[in-house]
Chain A
Amino acid sequence: MGKVLLEMRQIDKVFPGVRALSKVDFTLREGEIHSLMGENGAGKSTLVKVLTGVYPRDGGTVTMEGKEIFPRTPKEAQECGISTVYQEVNLCANLTVAENIFIGREPRKYGFIDWKTINHRAAELLHTLNVDIDVTKTLDHYSVAIQQMIAIARSIDVSAKILILDEPTSSLDEEETQRLFKIVRKLKDQGMGIIFISHFLEQIYDLCDRITILRNGELVGAYDVATLPKLDLIAKMVGKDVSAVRDMEVAAEKSQPSDEVFLSAEHIGATGQIFDVDLKIHKGEVLGFAGLLGSGRTETAELLFGVHPISQGEIKINGKKLDLKDPMTAMEQKIAFCPEDRKVAGIIGDLSVRENIILAMQAKDGILKHIPYKEQVKIADDCIKLLSIKVSSREQLIKNLSGGNQQKVIIARWLATQPELLILDEPTRGIDVGTKTEIQKMAVALAKKRGMSVIFISSEMDEMVRTCTKLIVMRDRRKVAELENDEISSENVMKAIAGGAA
């Protein structure tokens, strides 16, 4: 075992109203690939952000090679030797590869930037990672996978001792992933400490040496990968015993879809975004879109809501061919869409809960048909009761609610429009476990009791397995499989994503 590189002890982090981290310990050794695991909202990213200086810590100590450090900005963390490669590559697409690697710290000669050295050293650096490309070409010449490796090259060159990889494989295919792993292993052999965050269990078992598990901001424990079976890992992540996890796989009372088709999409696509997706959604059906981040799940949903126009194929609603040119057209067809990014595309932060709830309804009614205040109050109060939204009053600003309650308000906004198809894109991301379950149950109940069609998109496999009656699996912006009834299981989805048949 290598010597201890980084030690985080009793880390606390409090956000207004939430205890994001509570007395968390984390140890990273030289030459170790260490995975941080936990459900969404368990505190993984908070812990990483404390380490990289994005957030100041509220308690505890961080020592690196025996010396206590207090990084206040990502730059300071980098100076301490901690580099991060994020899931979205944060390089400049219009600069050359070499420029990207050396931006901000260009070698100089007589006061001028020494291009020769830059290009030479960049090529050399990438060569050590087995990436032999023309470094004088701009970044956008290369695939996301290569870009990621360039980002890694950049972090290595700033003499990092610790490399944090945050969901690096979410947009890579199998081969690219293997190539990345080769590089990561090479860095490990050079004695670097690597923190690897991913929600692909397979990859973690393939690559990592140790796993630290967090749950609800608390440390569950740190384990050697070799001694921790997958089922135990999941049980520890969700805080139940192994038999309960097995039970969770068994579908609860799902909805029984009717034979009537509400919407059918034939060979739809949008240039550069989606290639060829076929789907049918029946009344009373909960249809899941499974696949990795960036596989085209959200984009497909957006096509169905008219966010982007389709460039091929056709969409039929109740058997009639339609041109969904904007969200309003889709809304008129009784389609509702709760977007993935709540903060950016969902809430209107400075408006009250009431205003947020009636917004879509009012948009549908138009500017002139103002919903009287009294009616607004009634609708808002009904929704608050129906979804048990926790608010101090209906006039509370939505930005002051917790994530789960914000999500409920957005769902309420759409339920108020009486939709026949409700699209929920990552409705449970970043909210507490209790509310997650509530939302899943609600999706099933809407389909069962009201005969509504629901499209459910989630990165959490077990959620999909529990709620959906049919799953569409996507990869690389294409539909690769359709799973029904008994075929629906995490394993089958994984297989479909991996591309291997049975």
Chain B
Amino acid sequence: MGKLKEFTSSSLFLPVVALAVLLVFNAIFVDGFLTIQMTEDGRLYGRLIDILTRSSSLVILALGMTFVIATSGIDISVGAVVAISAAVVCNLIGGRGDGVAETPMALAMLAAVGVGILCGVWNGFLVSKLKIQAVVATLILMTAGRGIAQLMTEGQIITVYYKPFAYIGGTIPGNILPTNIFIAAAMVLLVVFIMKKTSIGLFVQSVGINPTASRFAGINVTMVIFLVYAFSGFCAGVSGLIESSLIRAADANNAGLNMEMDAILAVALGGTLLSGGKFYVGGSVIGAITIQTLTTTMYALGVSADQLPVVKAIAVVIICLIQSKKAQEMFDKWKAKRAGDQGLEKAVEKA
């Protein structure tokens, strides 16, 4: 009983319940939702695997976004950085029809992630050093980023025919699961490791809650803020690899489109307040998977891609209502009043 109570009051409770509800809904209404089968060449497939694959890049973005939001900032440039990273990796490998890579793939990937970090460093510089408001600072790259990606691809969609490139978002022959699931898992583990072995988590929360007091306690606030944006850029760079590999192309206009909003939503769903402070990495991960599950569910139910935002918007409203203290108070009052009214009715009936 004590354990249960501990869980219901824990920060992970809401995100887990939201995901569970969606999964149960799917299990009932979507045929074969829980089925996982194996293909002839030894790969697992099914809707659950699909959800995990599709959510991997969002999970990674949400990791970076969690830290940024915890410092009471926000990074709306990640979608555009995904496009830049995609453009870099595809550009370097090249779109040669004979399937030969112009640059070794590992090098190209490293370069793409590096450019992602560079973007993050730029954002971090603007926010921490020049003290530009986070929304405004990252808006610069959000709007300019796609243009930069366009420049790199010279306005074309570069399609990569080099086979191994598809393995990032697909399955390496012999593996049973798509590679991007492993990448996302590795990123989550990396973050967990950093959280356990360094004190960055404490500093990020401290800065998010009270930057002045943090400064007086000797924390280098500028550095902490700078680091979280750089890390967010790193995450976006990695996501860019996955996103481009999935379609084996760099599409400057559509790669990572609106993903910043989904990442923010995932963090919010996970229980981290947008005002900063306490953050929940686990919640953000589950939040990202929940969003993908929602998307997959809607597609399975035949909702078109154009109408999807409406469903998401409804989900956001519900989440906000659940998290809102004021709404909670109103609900409690309403419940108390109803209980009172019912008591009164009963009393009247008795009389």
Q: Which residues of A contact B (CB under 8 A)?
A: 307, 326-328, 331, 337, 339, 344-351, 355, 359-360, 362-371, 413
Partner of A307 from the list B197, B202, B203, B216 (CB cut-off 8 Å) is B216
| A370 in contact with B199 (CB, 8 Å) | yes
The verdict on A327 contacting B213 (CB below 8 Å), with A348-B206, A368-B198 known, is no
Q: Which residue of chain B has its CB nearest to the CB of A326?
A: B220
Among A362, A367, A371, max chain B CB count under 10 A is at A367
17 contacts between A and B (CB under 8 A): A337-B216, A344-B212, A345-B212, A346-B213, A348-B213, A348-B217, A351-B202, A351-B205, A359-B202, A362-B202, A362-B203, A363-B217, A364-B218, A369-B199, A370-B198, A370-B199, A371-B199
| B277 in contact with A350 (CB, 8 Å) | yes
| A367 in contact with B199 (CB, 8 Å) | yes
The verdict on A349 contacting B202 (CB below 8 Å), with A360-B217, A364-B218, A413-B217 known, is no
Is the CB of B171 closer than 8 A to any CB of chain A? no
B196-223 CB contact bits vs A (8 Å, 1 = yes)?
Answer: 1111101101100110111111111000
Is the CB of B278 closer than 8 A to any CB of chain A? yes
| B214 in contact with A348 (CB, 8 Å) | yes
Partner of B205 from the list A331, A337, A350, A365 (CB cut-off 8 Å) is A350
| B217 in contact with A344 (CB, 8 Å) | no
Q: How near does chain A come to B11, taking the closest CB pair, in angstroms? A: 12
Partner of B215 from the list A327, A350, A365, A367 (CB cut-off 8 Å) is A327
| A347 in contact with B210 (CB, 8 Å) | yes
4 more CB-based (< 8 A) A-B contacts, given A347-B210, A349-B209, A355-B205:
A344-B210, A351-B205, A363-B220, A370-B196
Q: How near does chain B come to A274, taking the closest CB pair, in angstroms? A: 18
| A327 in contact with B277 (CB, 8 Å) | no
| B218 in contact with A367 (CB, 8 Å) | no
| A351 in contact with B198 (CB, 8 Å) | no
10 tightest Cβ-Cβ pairs between the two chains A and B: A363-B218, A360-B217, A363-B219, A359-B217, A370-B199, A345-B216, A331-B218, A350-B209, A362-B199, A348-B209
Q: How far is the CA of A359 from the CA of B205 in the complex (A)?
A: 11
Among B196, B199, B219, max chain A CB count under 10 A is at B199
B198: chain A residues at CB < 8 Å are 367-368, 370
Q: How far is the CA of A307 from the CA of B218 in the complex (A)?
A: 10
Partner of A328 from the list B202, B206, B209, B220 (CB cut-off 8 Å) is B220
Q: In residues 274-306 of chain B, which contact A (Cβ within 8 Å)?
A: 277-278
The verdict on A367 contacting B200 (CB below 8 Å), with A327-B216, A350-B277 known, is yes
Q: Which residues of B contact A (CB under 8 A)?
A: 196-200, 202-203, 205-206, 209-210, 212-220, 277-278
Among A339, A351, A363, max chain B CB count under 10 A is at A363
| B213 in contact with A344 (CB, 8 Å) | yes
| A347 in contact with B213 (CB, 8 Å) | yes
| A355 in contact with B216 (CB, 8 Å) | no
Q: How near does chain A come to B66, taking the closest CB pair, in angstroms? A: 16
A355: chain B residues at CB < 8 Å are 202, 205-206
Q: How far is the CA of A365 from the CA of B220 in the complex (A)?
A: 12
| B210 in contact with A359 (CB, 8 Å) | no
| B210 in contact with A349 (CB, 8 Å) | yes
Q: How near does chain B come to A344, taking the closest CB pair, in angstroms? A: 5
Q: How near does chain A come to B269, taking the closest CB pair, in angstroms? A: 20
Q: How far is the CA of A360 from the CA of B217 in the complex (A)?
A: 5
Q: How far is the CA of A364 from the CA of B203 in the complex (A)?
A: 12
Q: How near does chain B come to A112, taking the closest CB pair, in angstroms? A: 35
Q: Which residue of chain B has its CB nearest to the CB of A413?
A: B217
B210: chain A residues at CB < 8 Å are 344, 347-349
| A360 in contact with B218 (CB, 8 Å) | yes
| B206 in contact with A327 (CB, 8 Å) | no
Among B202, B203, B278, max chain A CB count under 10 A is at B202
The verdict on A346 contacting B216 (CB below 8 Å), with A370-B199, A371-B199 known, is yes
Q: How far is the CA of A161 from the CA of B140 in the complex (A)?
A: 54
Q: How far is the CA of A327 from the CA of B278 in the complex (A)?
A: 25
Q: How near does chain A come to B135, taking the closest CB pair, in angstroms? A: 23
| A359 in contact with B219 (CB, 8 Å) | yes
Partner of B197 from the list A331, A360, A370 (CB cut-off 8 Å) is A370
Q: Which residue of chain B has its CB nearest to the CB of A339?
A: B216
Partner of B209 from the list A351, A366, A413 (CB cut-off 8 Å) is A351
B214: chain A residues at CB < 8 Å are 348, 359
Q: How near does chain A come to B189, taking the closest CB pair, in angstroms? A: 17
Among A348, A369, A371, max chain B CB count under 10 A is at A348
Q: How far is the CA of A337 from the CA of B277 in the complex (A)?
A: 24
Q: How far is the CA of A371 from the CA of B199 in the complex (A)?
A: 8
Q: Which residue of chain A has its CB nearest to the CB of B207?
A: A348
| A327 in contact with B209 (CB, 8 Å) | no
Partner of B218 from the list A328, A348, A350, A351 (CB cut-off 8 Å) is A328
B205: chain A residues at CB < 8 Å are 348, 350-351, 355
Q: Which residue of chain B has its CB nearest to the CB of A365?
A: B199
Q: How far is the CA of A103 from the CA of B341 in the complex (A)?
A: 49
A364: chain B residues at CB < 8 Å are 218
Q: How far is the CA of A71 from the CA of B278 in the complex (A)?
A: 37
A351: chain B residues at CB < 8 Å are 202, 205-206, 209
B220: chain A residues at CB < 8 Å are 326, 328, 363
| A359 in contact with B212 (CB, 8 Å) | no
Q: How far is the CA of A326 from the CA of B220 in the complex (A)?
A: 9
B196: chain A residues at CB < 8 Å are 370
A362: chain B residues at CB < 8 Å are 199, 202-203
Q: Which residue of chain A has its CB nearest to the CB of B210?
A: A348
The verdict on A367 contacting B203 (CB below 8 Å), with A347-B210, A350-B209, A350-B278 known, is yes
B203: chain A residues at CB < 8 Å are 362-363, 367
